[in-house]
Structure 1
């Protein structure tokens, strides 16, 4: 069905301040863009919201992230994991808490979206490391986490509209998928620009579905590869087992083979058991 002009207009005029990013998570990302930032600044900022700090530590100590030593404080986390990974965990923890709704239909889509985004984040970091680009691993993680942020924005907008008693028909699964297909990149770019997010991540939001892409952009290539892998394994709202993963240009660019693919599939399937 064609996406009605009314629904499109209602969604695109929603206020950009819809709760899609946690302010502390955003401030941490901006701080890391500042030359010569200090570790104490990262620690102090992450500790400003004790609820978020607790979520960061819970995630850092989960089976997916944990190292040899358990992390007890934000300071310990920064020392052990580094400022970039702590900032990434802040965004991931805040995103996990935002993927929830009192509306059953919206909640179901939000949960699927979180599982997909989290798998893309974990998998993108793994792929960057295994393809020989460890210097891009944490950026790939963040890009994987945020690539579909436009979908979260659209779901939050629909949640607000439904509470106001409008756009009820938009909760039908077929129409929701159509809304995603037509609007999520556009609205994701709108968000990234409004919040002045680093260009590296904005590029991924804008170009992760393009037929042609900048093959020299390792972070974009990695997220596109993971997006396809998750789609192939049915992690998210769509499953497509017809994808030839070995034949993808992204797989070739990353120089990954079947053995690596099998290891990746096991990893991203393990992320589905993660709970905040």
Structure 2
């Protein structure tokens, strides 16, 4: 079935250029074109679309207003900006309504890759209700102590960008959001960034300050929201898995970028739990209770209740936000790595091993995460398991750092 893509721009020459440039996609995409926000909304009312790609600066209804309305009326539609304007004012307007930003001039391959990647994620998360819920997420709740620290630093007389970056790199929600922003074309960075500290440095103090204090892209977790959901424990688990995944990547001599991706994938691997707990508190409380009562892993109980797991939910959001593919894959398949097309030792493998060793160490029979030893053996790495266990013991002794 063809994907339906709606392009919106007030300049006829731009729309004609897009038609010519993307002619090779006619067999895969059903493309439509609108000359403004009002026309785009009429087309959306007449027929469903998978993706909308809109210009920013248009007369009447501008891109930010259009995408805000699309988010409200059609939450399942992936929202992408294609614009030549990158002033901070526009960034602040788009942060909470846009999934990804592409800068003009933009080549056909970049548009194809961005749209196809967004559409492929829909196949990952088959529940329309959950995909709509995830598509509407503007920010995720942070660990209260870290949220308070970052606000205090930003409101101080001499805020340190390095300290801000270090705090962000310890928090699931903050890391995911800054990586979404820095990996957009807003900032003109040629390569994808997977290190949260680097991301903060690229954004700069004034942008971070405006995003946190004015737009409020970070939020504090309300402890009363889900009874039995321990965000402190999730934080400790995520930090430990991230640190262990990084050490594994270093030990097995992966490239520097893959080492960064391993840490970030480990930190974010359970972001789906945070999404489900924050967005569906009552339902998720029942899922946690079912996991304990039936003595099954939490992700199995999620599958029973939602038809999917926190792994797919988290990967869907991170993919929508444009994080590197290796991180999205590691999050999506960290429970079932053999189902991922990649069969080499990569960030996914490090996260799977680190996560399994954590549960093995915690002796949690009800939530056991079994190590896929067959996969490890197929990579010729079975003899490394005892060394990895020793490495994990070191990481755990250091408090997951």
Q: Secondary structure at the match of 1:271?
A: coil
Q: Which runs of 4+ in 1 moved over 6 A?
A: 244-248
Aligned counterpart, 2:233: 112
Specify whether residues 19 and 43 from structure 1 end up closer, same or farther in structure 2 by C-alpha distance, changes over 3 A only: closer
The equivalent residue for 2:269 is 147
Q: 2: CA distance between counterparts of 1:41 and 1:125?
A: 18
1:47 counterpart = 2:205: yes
| Aligned mates of 2:251, 2:376 — CA distance in 1 | 17
Q: Give, in angstroms, the shift of residue 121 of structure 1.
A: 0.7
Match of 2:346 among 206, 215, 218: 218
Could you tell me whether the CA contact under 8 Å between 2:352 and 2:371 is conserved in 1? Answer: no
The answer on whether the counterparts of 2:180 and 2:322 sit within 8 Å (CA) in structure 1 is no
Q: Shift in Å at residue 201 of structure 1?
A: 1.1
Verify the 8 A CA contact 1:230 1:236 in the aligned structure 2: no
Describe the superposition over 1:29-78 as per-residue Cα deviations: whole angstroms up to 9, x where unpaired. Answer: 447993179x999636242335999xxxxxxxxxxxxxxxxxxxxxxxxx
The 2-side partners of 1:236 and 1:111 are apart by 17
Inter-CA distance 40–119: structure 2 relative to 1 (3 Å threshold): closer
Shift in Å at residue 190 of structure 1? 2.2
Q: Does 1:190 align with 2:316?
A: yes
Counterpart for residue 8 of structure 2 = none
2:139 to 19, 27, 35: 19
CA positional deviation for 1:179: 2.1
Aligned equivalent of 2:335: 209
Whole-angstrom CA distance in 2 between matches of 1:192 and 1:157:
16
Question: How far has the Cα of 1:240 moved from its partner?
Answer: 3.9
Distance 2:291 2:253 in 1: 41
Residue 9 of structure 1: how far off its partner (Å): 7.8
Q: Could you tell me which residue of structure 2 aligns to residue 170 of structure 1?
A: 286
Q: Using the alignment, how far apart are the partners of 1:119 and 1:175 within structure 2?
A: 23
Match of 1:35 in 2: 190
CA shift for structure 1 position 142: 0.9
Q: Which runs of 5+ in 2 are unaligned?
A: 1-126, 141-172, 293-297
Determine the structure 2 residue equivalent to 1:265.
393
Name the TM-score, length of structure 2 as normaliser.
Answer: 0.44
1:103 and 1:237 map into 2 onto residues whose CA distance is: 26
Q: CA RMSD in A?
A: 4.2
* SS of alignment partner, residue 105 of structure 1: coil
When residues 265 and 180 of structure 1 are mapped into structure 2, their CA distance, relative to the original with a 3 A threshold, is: farther
Structure having the higher helix fraction is 1
| Residue of structure 2 in register with 1:249 after alignment | 376
**When the two structures are aligned, how many residues end up with a matched partner?**
216
Q: Would the aligned equivalents of 1:105 and 1:171 in 2 still touch at CA under 8 Å?
A: no
Q: Could you give the per-residue CA deviations for residues 116-141 of structure 1, whole angstroms, max 9, x where no partner exists?
A: 21111111110111112252211110
How far is 1:194 from its partner? 2.0
Q: Per-residue deviation at 1:218?
A: 1.3
Q: Distance in 1 between matches of 2:279 and 2:183?
A: 24
What is the deviation of 1:170?
A: 2.6
Normalising by structure 1, what TM-score? 0.60
User: Match of 1:34, SS?
Assistant: coil
Change (3 A) 1:230 1:199: same
Shift of 1:261: 1.8
Q: Which structure has more strand as a fraction of its residues?
A: 2
Contact 2:334 2:348 in 1 (8 A): yes
Task: Tell me how far apart the structure 2 counterparts of residues 237 and 168 of structure 1 sit (CA, whole Å).
Answer: 20
Q: Which residue in 1 is equivalent to 2:278?
A: 156
